[in-house]
């Protein structure tokens, strides 16, 4: 083991795998340490032969058209244009059939799938063709046993989806006299009446109860005569089951939190009109086409608010994502759960991670972020950009009381419980605005403005945990009472002195010569669904020292629907290399929207983002660490397996592998040790190695250009750059074993790499005479008195003479455990 204790040691013992530290200088000294952290999720192993036997001969696909027409017209168009056989039009019998549609569902024989899809997509009126994905979720799994798309290493039928709410218990309500109510029961009801925590009664007493607000609940349905509801306007079934009732209880519970009238589990807006969309079967399965039809119906019937207590990692399911955009563009306020994948960071679920959707996280009654609540940032923008702040707001989501199927009250926990809490608040707020004026004032942006500007910031959580903070009903009410259409920026302040809220920015000051620090804010345009940036954003320093800051802006020139982004790429100028102090000022951007109906003048608004930044002199090279983000790949779009094979309930690496997502603890500990960590979002040829002491390569999946390999060799040997490599596992036999046939996408899912791309890393390290093998090692070990577990790590099979290799007796769990291979690449020769 290394003789002296590294300042990184505590963290490395906890979180990293296969560590290789090199520094070349006048004297070559190599140190190697193989460590790992058992991650919370892992890959699945499928029985390929069993799957082959179950492969269907025909699969349904969604054909999207460029315009809305009757379904029969779309069918006739395809039949008149497609010459090949092997497909048929699927008739959809649901309430949306009486309205024009922009898509059709066709069944295609597998034998002619490729040729038919190509022929469909060549048609002028066809937008695209995609598989009719199936959504699968667990809505009522008990406690920590709740599961999502994977269970015990096996993929469940359906699209990959995260788990939702889980049960805490049932409280049976019976007709009893006040004299028989025990003190325990009174305390229980005080604890669970979530409406009282938001002061809902204050608005009820003013006459605001959600009247004439059309609330669409996309869930598991509800029974028609449930006594907890006074205003069930319509129930629709979008599944392939012949029932409108809720046999699981989740849809009933969600409706109860929003609009329940029963005294022991009151909802927020009891007079709200409930429109129950049954989009999940009793087996908790749904299809994209069901959602598309239901969304279209919600648009056609002019819903005001829509609650969607579901989510998953696939933000590239374009038919679904783009339909959500269309839904909000039609002035439907969507509220959605941010996900139950906490406390991990980078685990935001779609569609709650979309800027036009109100994404809701969960807190407990002590105003602490619930352990289950997913954390930001958004990961759409990684690796080349930086994520947005999400969730938007948080609300109570632990042990919330709501209606049960049996007309009692029960408690549930999860962000799918926090979501209807906010949806109920939204319904109550909508009813504050006179009905004739609602569509002129209220929209997804203006409602989000009222929520985030009225929210109460929690003292012990950062912006990627709480968003704007806990929803504050009465503050939002005051904002809406006098609201005038305008644009704004969220968050509206970036303050490096405000910790922990402004984490990670508050943990590391700016300095000259650093890589750009990116802050990605959201533009909320309450003036209209369509807006434009009138002129480039401008930095207005409050004093002369503010001129030491250089900001490059990237932004949405067109703002649709309702939202856009404004990214600040901040750097301190070279002349400020010795400057220490604070820089303050404002960034402004002017937004305009077309005139509203009945107006003649363009609507204009100036958005302001306040900056308060801390600057220090440029640190010495030995304290500067560069993190390679450019070569990180995550799901989607490819099947990137998780790093540890120990846990079997999530097979995908979808958290971003960023210093501020799943490696946030590493970032904090490096900062605690006095290091300054910068992010490289470009190839290895794009940084000056003279400025950095160490380059960190952690859990990387991409390949390297020859120019990168040559430059890194020169950087290490000639400039003394330190190189720290954290690999994972890579074993071809195991990867083949892990592939599975997805009956939803009608395709084989095969990992595009292992936990890391070891062959690519071997290419990169070949000039140094270093190579990793293909073993998958597991075991317990102790270093310097600290105990940890090595899970799913690779081994080091080649190292230069004179180097130091430290080894532990671990178990090899790879499929090819009997042999040892060097993962050869095109330019390597195997040497023993």
Query: Would you call 788 a catalytic residue per the annotation?
Result: no
334 CB-near residues (< 8 Å, 6+ apart): 305, 306, 307, 308, 324, 327, 328, 351, 356, 357, 358, 444
715 CB-near residues (< 8 Å, 6+ apart): 689, 695, 721
How are beta strands 804-805 and 29-33 bridged, if at all?
Answer: parallel
Whether 636 and 717 map to the same domain: the answer is yes
Confidence of residue 6 (pLDDT cuts 50, 70, 90): very low
Indicate whether 300 belongs to any domain. yes
pLDDT computed for residue 46 by the predictor: 35
d(CA 20, CA 30): 8
pLDDT computed for residue 600 by the predictor: 95
d(CA 465, CA 655): 15
d(CA 359, CA 373): 11
Q: Given 226, 250, 631, 655, which residue is catalytic?
A: 250
pLDDT of 421 strictly over 80 = yes
Q: Which pTM was predicted?
A: 0.88
Number of domains in the chain: 4
pLDDT of 4 strictly over 50 = no
Least confident range of 13-17, 35-39, 52-56: 35-39
pLDDT of 45 strictly over 80 = no
What's 72's domain CATH number? Answer: 3.30.70
Condensed to tens digits (0 to 9), the pLDDT of residues 659-669 reads: 999 899 999 99
Least confident range of 246-250, 584-588, 807-811: 807-811
Least confident range of 279-288, 503-512, 529-538, 663-672: 279-288
Q: Given 102, 132, 136, 219, which residue is catalytic?
A: 219
pLDDT of 140 strictly over 90 = no
pLDDT computed for residue 163 by the predictor: 56
Q: For residues 161 and 280, is the Cβ–Cβ distance under 8 A?
A: no
pLDDT of 190 strictly over 60 = no
- Average pLDDT for 792-820: 82
Whether 464 and 532 map to the same domain: the answer is no
pLDDT computed for residue 633 by the predictor: 80
Residue of 709, 656, 768 whose CA lies nearest to 31: 768
Condensed to tens digits (0 to 9), the pLDDT of residues 577-623 reads: 999 999 999 999 999 999 999 999 999 999 999 999 999 999 999 99
Main-chain phi, psi angles of 523, to 5 degrees: -90, 125
Percent pLDDT > 90 in the chain is 68
Indicate whether 152 belongs to any domain. no
Confidence of residue 736 (pLDDT cuts 50, 70, 90): confident
pLDDT computed for residue 745 by the predictor: 58
Condensed to tens digits (0 to 9), the pLDDT of residues 141-162 reads: 334 444 455 444 454 444 445 5
What's 267's domain CATH number? Answer: 3.40.50.200
Q: For residues 31 and 21, is the Cβ–Cβ distance under 8 A?
A: yes
Main-chain phi, psi angles of 503, to 5 degrees: -60, 140
pLDDT computed for residue 649 by the predictor: 62
pLDDT computed for residue 367 by the predictor: 96
Identify which of 354-363, 731-740, 782-791 has the greatest average pLDDT.
354-363
Least confident range of 20-29, 360-369, 656-665, 791-800: 20-29
Least confident range of 13-27, 241-255, 689-703, 753-767: 13-27
Indicate whether 94 belongs to any domain. yes
Per DSSP, the three-state class of 239 is: coil
pLDDT computed for residue 381 by the predictor: 86
Confidence of residue 727 (pLDDT cuts 50, 70, 90): confident
pLDDT computed for residue 753 by the predictor: 81
pLDDT of 32 strictly over 50 = no
With 0-12 CB in 10 A as exposed, 13-18 as middle and 19+ as buried, what is 727?
A: buried
- Average pLDDT for 637-665: 73
Q: Which residue has the higher pLDDT, 656 or 735?
A: 735
- Average pLDDT for 206-235: 97
Distance of alpha carbon 267 from its chain centroid, rounded? 28
Whether 522 and 469 map to the same domain: the answer is no
Residue of 469, 400, 472, 363 whose CA lies nearest to 254: 400
Q: For residues 108 and 117, is the Cβ–Cβ distance under 8 A?
A: yes
Q: For residues 728 and 754, is the Cβ–Cβ distance under 8 A?
A: yes
Q: Give one DSSP letter per residue of 289-327, joined into a string.
A: HHHHHHHHHHHHTT-SEEEE---BS-TT-HHHHHHHHHH
Indicate whether 825 belongs to any domain. no
- Average pLDDT for 811-827: 61
Whether 404 and 476 map to the same domain: the answer is yes
Q: For residues 149 and 141, is the Cβ–Cβ distance under 8 A?
A: no
Q: How many residues does the chain have?
A: 832
Residue of 492, 352, 362, 340 whose CA lies nearest to 421: 362
pLDDT computed for residue 187 by the predictor: 35
Q: What is the DSSP letter of 470?
A: B
Of 615, 631, 661, the last residue of a domain is 615
Taking CB atoms within 8 Å and a gap of at least 24, the contacts of 809-814 are 809/779, 810/777, 810/778, 810/779, 810/781, 811/777, 811/778, 811/779, 812/775, 812/776, 812/777, 813/645, 813/776, 813/777, 813/778, 814/729, 814/731, 814/733, 814/734, 814/774, 814/775, 814/776
Whether 637 and 593 map to the same domain: the answer is no
Tokens 């069918």 locate to 75
Residue 572 Ramachandran class (φ > 0 left, ψ -120 to 50 alpha, else beta): beta
d(CA 24, CA 158): 51
Confidence of residue 192 (pLDDT cuts 50, 70, 90): low
Distance of alpha carbon 442 from its chain centroid, rounded? 26
d(CA 493, CA 726): 36
pLDDT computed for residue 785 by the predictor: 87
HSE (side-chain half, CA atoms, 13 Å) at 101: 28
Whether 685 and 732 map to the same domain: the answer is yes
Condensed to tens digits (0 to 9), the pLDDT of residues 478-498 reads: 999 999 999 999 999 999 999
Token representation of residue 499: 């910790």
Tokens 């962000």 locate to 415
Indicate whether 119 belongs to any domain. yes
Whether 777 and 720 map to the same domain: the answer is yes
- Average pLDDT for 703-707: 96
Q: Given 130, 404, 416, 476, which residue is catalytic?
A: 416
pLDDT computed for residue 786 by the predictor: 86
Indicate whether 65 belongs to any domain. yes
Query: Would you call 416 a catalytic residue per the annotation?
Result: yes
CA separation, residue 125 to residues 64, 119, 662 (Å): 9, 12, 43
Whether 225 and 374 map to the same domain: the answer is yes
How are beta strands 154-155 and 150-151 bridged, if at all?
Answer: antiparallel
pLDDT of 400 strictly over 90 = yes
Q: For residues 458 and 369, is the Cβ–Cβ distance under 8 A?
A: yes
Range of the domain at 592: 488-615
Does residue 419 have a cis bond before it (omega within 30 degrees)? no
With 0-12 CB in 10 A as exposed, 13-18 as middle and 19+ as buried, what is 490?
A: buried
Identify which of 121-135, 304-318, 358-372 has the greatest average pLDDT.
358-372
The overall average pLDDT reported for the chain is 85
Indicate whether 168 belongs to any domain. no
Q: For residues 639 and 751, is the Cβ–Cβ distance under 8 A?
A: yes
pLDDT computed for residue 25 by the predictor: 36
Whether 517 and 587 map to the same domain: the answer is yes
Q: Please report the beta strands in 573-705, taking only residues with DSSP state E, as ranges in sequence order.
A: 581-593, 603-615, 624-628, 676-680, 694-698
d(CA 224, CA 552): 56
Q: For residues 731 and 815, is the Cβ–Cβ distance under 8 A?
A: yes
Whether 602 and 689 map to the same domain: the answer is no
Least confident range of 257-261, 471-475, 624-628, 753-757: 753-757
Number of helices (H), then strands (E), belonging to the chain: the values are: 19, 42
pLDDT computed for residue 386 by the predictor: 92
pLDDT computed for residue 476 by the predictor: 98
Indicate whether 417 belongs to any domain. yes
pLDDT computed for residue 250 by the predictor: 95
Residue of 18, 91, 214, 99 whose CA lies nearest to 726: 18
pLDDT of 744 strictly over 60 = no
Q: Which residue has the higher pLDDT, 257 or 728?
A: 257
d(CA 140, CA 394): 21
pLDDT of 123 strictly over 90 = yes
pLDDT computed for residue 200 by the predictor: 97
d(CA 409, CA 403): 5
Confidence of residue 7 (pLDDT cuts 50, 70, 90): very low
d(CA 646, CA 784): 25
Q: For residues 260 and 250, is the Cβ–Cβ distance under 8 A?
A: no
144 CB-near residues (< 8 Å, 6+ apart): none
What's 522's domain CATH number? Answer: 2.60.40.10
Whether 19 and 117 map to the same domain: the answer is no
Q: Which residue has the higher pLDDT, 286 or 679?
A: 679
d(CA 530, CA 325): 12
Whether 611 and 629 map to the same domain: the answer is no
Query: Would you call 250 a catalytic residue per the annotation?
Result: yes
Token representation of residue 745: 């996408």
Main-chain phi, psi angles of 280, to 5 degrees: -120, 140
d(CA 429, CA 358): 14
Instruction: Please count the other Cβ atoms lying within 10 Å of the Cβ belonging to residue 4.
Output: 7
């Amino acid at each position: 083991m290394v003789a002296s204790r590294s300042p990184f040691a505590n963290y490395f013992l906890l979180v990293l795998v296969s560590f290789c530290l090199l520094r070349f200088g006048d004297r070559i000294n190599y140190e190697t340490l193989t460590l790992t952290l058992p991650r919370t999720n892992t890959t699945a192993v499928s029985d390929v032969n069993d799957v082959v036997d179950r492969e269907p001969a025909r699969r349904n696909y969604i054909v999207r058209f460029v315009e809305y027409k009757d379904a029969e017209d779309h069918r006739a168009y395809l039949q008149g244009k497609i010459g090949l056989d092997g497909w048929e039009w699927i008739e959809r019998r649901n309430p949306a059939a009486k309205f024009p549609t922009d898509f059709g569902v066709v069944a295609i024989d597998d034998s002619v799938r490729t040729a038919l899809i190509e022929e469909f997509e060549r048609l002028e009126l066809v937008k695209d063709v995609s598989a009719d994905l199936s959504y699968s979720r667990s809505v009522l799994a008990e406690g920590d046993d709740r599961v999502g798309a994977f269970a015990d290493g096996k993929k469940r039928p359906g699209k990959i989806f995260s788990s939702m709410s889980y049960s805490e218990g049932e409280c049976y309500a019976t007709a009893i006299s006040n004299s028989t109510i025990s003190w325990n029961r009174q305390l229980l009801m005080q604890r669970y009446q979530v409406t009282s925590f938001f002061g809902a009664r204050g608005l009820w007493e003013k006459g605001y109860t959600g009247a004439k607000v059309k609330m669409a609940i996309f869930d598991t349905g509800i029974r028609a005569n449930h006594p907890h509801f006074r205003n069930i306007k319509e129930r629709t079934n979008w599944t392939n089951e012949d029932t409108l009732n809720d046999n699981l209880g989740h849809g009933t519970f969600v409706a109860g939190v929003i609009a329940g009238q029963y005294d022991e589990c009151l909802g927020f807006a009891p007079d709200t009109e409930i429109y129950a969309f049954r989009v999940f079967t009793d087996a908790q399965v749904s299809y994209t086409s069901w959602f598309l039809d239901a969304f279209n119906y919600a648009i056609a019937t002019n819903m005001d608010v829509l609650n969607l207590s579901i989510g998953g990692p696939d933000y590239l399911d374009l038919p679904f994502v783009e339909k959500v955009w269309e839904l909000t563009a039609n002035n439907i306020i969507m509220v959605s759960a941010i996900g139950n994948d906490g406390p991990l960071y980078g685990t935001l679920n779609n569609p709650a991670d979309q800027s036009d959707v109100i994404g809701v996280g969960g807190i407990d009654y002590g105003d602490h972020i619930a352990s289950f609540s997913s954390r930001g940032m958004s990961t759409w923008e990684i690796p080349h950009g930086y994520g947005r702040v999400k969730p938007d707001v948080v609300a109570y989501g632990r042990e919330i009381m709501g209606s049960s199927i049996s007309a009692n009250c029960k408690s549930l926990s999860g962000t799918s419980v926090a979501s209807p809490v906010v949806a109920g608040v939204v319904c109550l707020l909508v009813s504050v605005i006179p009905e004739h004026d609602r569509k002129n004032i209220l929209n997804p942006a203006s409602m989000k403005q009222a929520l985030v500007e009225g929210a109460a910031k929690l003292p012990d959580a950062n912006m990627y945990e709480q968003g704007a903070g806990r929803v504050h009903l009465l503050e939002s009410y005051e904002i809406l009472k006098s609201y005038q259409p305008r644009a704004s920026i969220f968050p509206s302040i970036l303050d490096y002195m405000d910790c922990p809220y402004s984490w990670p920015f508050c943990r590391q000051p700016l300095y000259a010569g650093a890589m750009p620090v990116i802050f990605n804010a959201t533009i909320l345009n309450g003036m209209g669904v369509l807006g434009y940036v009138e002129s480039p954003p401008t930095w207005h320093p409050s004093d002369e020292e503010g001129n030491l800051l250089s900001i490059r802006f990237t932004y949405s020139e067109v703002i649709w629907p309702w939202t856009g982004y404004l990214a600040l790429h901040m750097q301190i100028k070279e002349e400020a290399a010795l400057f220490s102090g604070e820089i303050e000022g404002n960034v402004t951007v002017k937004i305009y929207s077309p005139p509203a109906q009945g107006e003649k003048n363009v609507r204009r608004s100036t958005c302001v983002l306040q900056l308060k930044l801390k600057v220090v002199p440029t640190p010495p090279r030995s304290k500067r660490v560069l993190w390679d983000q450019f070569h990180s790949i995550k799901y989607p779009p490819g099947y990137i397996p998780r790093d540890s094979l120990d846990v079997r309930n999530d097979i995908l690496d979808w958290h971003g592998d960023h210093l501020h997502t799943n490696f946030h603890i590493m970032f904090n500990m490096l900062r605690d040790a006095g290091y300054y960590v910068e992010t490289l979002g470009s190839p290895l040829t794009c940084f000056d190695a003279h400025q950095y002491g160490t380059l960190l390569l952690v859990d990387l999946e991409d390949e390297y250009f020859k120019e990168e390999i040559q430059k890194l060799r020169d950087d290490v040997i000639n400039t003394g750059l330190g190189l720290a490599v954290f690999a994972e596992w890579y074993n071809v036999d195991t990867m083949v074993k892990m592939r599975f046939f997805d009956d939803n996408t009608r395709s084989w899912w095969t990992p595009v790499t292992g936990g890391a791309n070891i062959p690519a890393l071997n290419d990169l390290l070949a000039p140094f005479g270093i190579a990793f093998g293909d073993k998958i090692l597991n075991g317990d070990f102790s270093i310097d008195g600290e105990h940890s577990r090595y899970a799913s790590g690779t081994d080091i099979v080649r190292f230069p003479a004179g180097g130091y290799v430290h080894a532990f007796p671990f178990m090899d769990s790879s499929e090819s455990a009997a042999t040892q291979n060097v993962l050869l690449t095109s330019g390597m020769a195997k040497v023993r």
